[in-house]
Chains A and B, each alone.
Chain A
Amino acid sequence: MEVNEQKRFETSASYLKKPGRLTITSKRLYWSPNNGEKQPIVNILHSAPSKFFVGKEKVAQEPKFKISTGGSDYTFSLSGWDRIQKIQEELTTVKGRSAAPSPVAPRSAAASPAHQRSSAPSPASGSSSPALRNGPQKVTNKTGASLRNSDKHKLCMQLLLRDKNLSEQHRTLVLKERCVTEDEFWELRQDLLRDHELQMKQKKGRSSVIPNIRPITEEGGETKINITPQLVQEIFDEYPRVKIAYEQNVGDNKPLGHKEFWKRYVQSRFNDRNRTNGSSVVNDDLFEKCWLETEEDINQEKEHRDHGRKRIKISNLRDLSATKEDHMEIELEKDITMRSGHGKILSLIRRSNRHGEKILEASSSKTRISKEKAKQNNQEHQNEDYMPYITIDDLNDEKPENAIRLEIHDQREYFASQKLEQGRDVEMTDSQNSPIDILNEFKTDFVDWKPNLTVSLISDKYARKATKKCNELIKTKQHYAREAIPNLENFPSPIEKEVHLLHLLGNEYLRHFWASWNSKDKTEKNKKMIEKLRGALTRINKIKKMSQDEEALDSSQSSQNTDTRVNELEWSKAITLAEQMLKPLRDAIEIALTRGRSHN
């Protein structure tokens, strides 16, 4: 123990199945077995970079944690989960204090958005995000604490930037009107935060746009071409020959400069292959060579992939029952777009196919694995497996079938047309008649029944009533369909703003009210919400009294208002309409208030 070292925490723990004592000091963490050895077997300095892993409480059977430093891992088993919490806390505090900038141990998943933010989704407008992501991230187990505050704050900011409606709400509720605090606002919107976080965590693959240089026509007739480093990288990925040409010709002792190279590239036919305007095309030797070489590369690639004609695998087994027909070559001639070696004109389809294939292979792990396997197969001379060809199924013993038993305990319920409940019959029977009586009665009634359809069936009175009823139904339907839709064209803007604001406020208060309704630790908040709801209700009631002149006086844009003044009749109509609009909100608030009152 050094002079300045202080013991912070000590507990019994076992390492490698030996009981011992784990101690955390201000400078290091060490473990010594119980059999009395003075020297600690495990000694980890806090200043050394180390990572800390905890088993999940529900999944692991016993409380364990693991520290890995410099390539070696140490796993300790403890007596209780609360110990682990303490150890975590100690480690975080100590590491936070230590001067050496070691990566802080419990890395929650919130750290990953920081990586991804730099390459936030950008629309494919020519500039694309860089190719493969920075390699697979090591996800440590969540240490039980939720998102750390700073990361949460970042998430909130991002979310507000992306979603206009949300930022509008946030501005109105939290900043302008000060109805709810920032924390309360986000408390109810945790799903949004969670979704956003998950979205940010998603890895973006390689961009699928074929690198294409697009000129931007500026005013004045000049065309400007932006060549970003990302674009350069993509062109190099797609056409390695261009990269080689670049390396050969651009540099310190080399003839071309960076700008000149790209100028020539743009002007060369290599770039303009797919465009038909021949006027601005200059024959450029450098890129002609590139083009030819690229073609050759592609053709060779195809052959390699099909294993050419040199690598056909010849089986050692002979099929004695083969006839002449088995040896006839039946080949389909390759499509005009897929024939190789046709010179300079690499058709657009082939180019797109090739590009698409490249991208899929880059992102899919399956093809990688199969490619590796294919390589392996070609390298080793694998002996062919003869067994399937010579075993006869009938001679083998029958294997028991691997049938999986479907547990259908619920299926009867699924298809059940009735569940036998004894009580239900009682409802349906009259006090006088039992069902069997009724059935018998019907039976006797219907024997020899010959209805007379020639006499009048329906009396005048009922017929009229029926027609009237039908007409009423039709009338209400038409009314709703046509006339009840209010005309909102000339709705005055101050009223509209007030209604909108009241809706926003009222809904937010109601959400907070109901969220804190039944929980024990939020009664304070609940009461506060009741007060606020009352305030909102009075404000709704005040809308009746809004008059045009007041609004003109209050608002600072009086000049504007004089233009948009409406006559009194329209104003009062709008007020009634506004009251109708607010009616559901008012009903909801009243329900909430009555429930709140009865609860207390």
Chain B
Amino acid sequence: MKVDEDANLLVLIIDTNPIVWRKSNFSLKEALRHILVFINAHLALKHDNDVAIIASHVGVSKFLYPIPMTHENSDKTIFPNMYQKFRVIDEKVIANMSALFEDVDTPNNYPDKASSMMAGALSMALCYINRITKADEIGHVKSRILIISVSPDSPYQYISIMNCIFSAQKLCIPIDVCKVYGSDTPVFLQQASHITGGKYLKLEMPQGLLQFLMIAFLPDRYNKKYLCLPGEERVDFGAACFCHKKIIDVGYVCSVCLSIFCRPLDECSTCRTRLTLTSVRQNGRVI
């Protein structure tokens, strides 16, 4: 298949947790300006390129673009100096972002304000990609996901995130992660990029966000094969236990359904098989 015929779909997931953005010394507005330029660059590479943007907020995740047209107000003025597609997308994103922040009550009532709804955003992205791929009869659309993350992953979302990651792996959709602010742990996004063949980049200087995005995340799937891109190679394979959602390094795994527990159980809570430990040593004695 010729490269010329490929259309690239970039699905961008932006983590918009206001509390964490406030903590970082880089404002969300500034970051959004960088991101918009990056989106325009992606669209400019090829005529067929397309983009979808999802905001992962506190307790909710929403599409910023594309959203089915509402007949409220679509600015009909045409700016002759600007590429129409850029303008449309930029405006929509800005408008929907403001609409997102309008609603104060839902995030406020959400108990866990430390992290964002990453699992939801990933699921929405995968569903959208699936729809586009099915609708595309010729089979030219190559999609990928880029996550711009600031907040730590919630261990409570471990199972959902892992399921999304495995689906992405099955569909051959690389997940790239750009960590603007925040520590690495928990490491689910690192594992996501590792398994799906994407890149994980942690920024020391958020002010250079645009430059990092352009170098590391602009090349599409075809070109990545021929370029050597920066990214972290070492992955920490931690997991969250299914019973208490705490991050563990060493645990017990059900041999039937592979669910992870932090302490030995008599019966697996997911598949209800009776479990017996045959060769486990505790304090030197065999159980």
Contact = CB atoms under 8 A, between A and B. Distances in A.
Contacts of B211: 458, 462-463, 466-467, 470
Given A410-B269, A429-B19, A449-B94, A443 B108 contact: no
Interface stretch (B126-134, B187-195, B225-233): B225-233
A522 B269 contact: no
Nearest to A429: B19
Interface string A387-430: 00000000000000000000000110111111111001101111
Contact of B283 (A447, A458, A463, A518): A518
Interface stretch (B45-53, B109-117, B141-149): B109-117
A190 B286 contact: yes
Contacts of B90: 453
A474 interface: yes
A532 B215 CA distance: 54
B101 A446 contact: yes
Tier of interface size on chain A: 35 or more
Given A458-B208, A474-B228, A451 B114 contact: no
A447 B29 CA distance: 12
A457 interface: yes
Nearest to B100: A446
A103 B67 CA distance: 84
Interface stretch (A203-211, A431-439, A496-504): A431-439
B224 interface: no
A188 to B, nearest CB: 10
B114 A428 contact: yes
A457 B242 CA distance: 44
B185 interface: no
Contacts of A410: 243, 269-270
Contact of A438 (B19, B111, B208): B19
A430 B112 contact: no
B262 interface: no
A417 B19 contact: no
B104 A424 contact: no
B11 to A, nearest CB: 21
Interface string B68-92: 0000000000000000000000100
Contacts of A462: 205, 207-208, 211
Contacts of A473: 230-232
Given A413-B243, A477-B230, A419 B212 contact: no
Contact of B205 (A190, A417, A450, A465): A465
Nearest to B265: A410
Contacts of A480: 233
B284 A451 contact: no
A457 B215 contact: no
Greatest chain B CB density within 10 A among A415, A458, A459 is at A458
Contact of B98 (A415, A447, A470): A447
B154 interface: yes
B212 A451 contact: no
A442 interface: yes
Nearest to B97: A446
A433 B23 CA distance: 11
A66 B21 CA distance: 75
Interface string A177-214: 00000000000001100100000000000000000000
Given A438-B18, A442-B18, A451 B101 contact: no
Contacts of A436: 104, 108
Nearest to A472: B230
Interface string B6-34: 00000000000011101100001100111
14 contacts: A414-B242, A417-B154, A441-B18, A441-B22, A445-B29, A449-B98, A453-B37, A457-B37, A457-B210, A458-B207, A458-B208, A465-B208, A470-B211, A470-B215
CB-CB nearest 7 A-B residue pairs: A466-B208, A473-B230, A410-B269, A466-B211, A519-B284, A462-B208, A446-B98
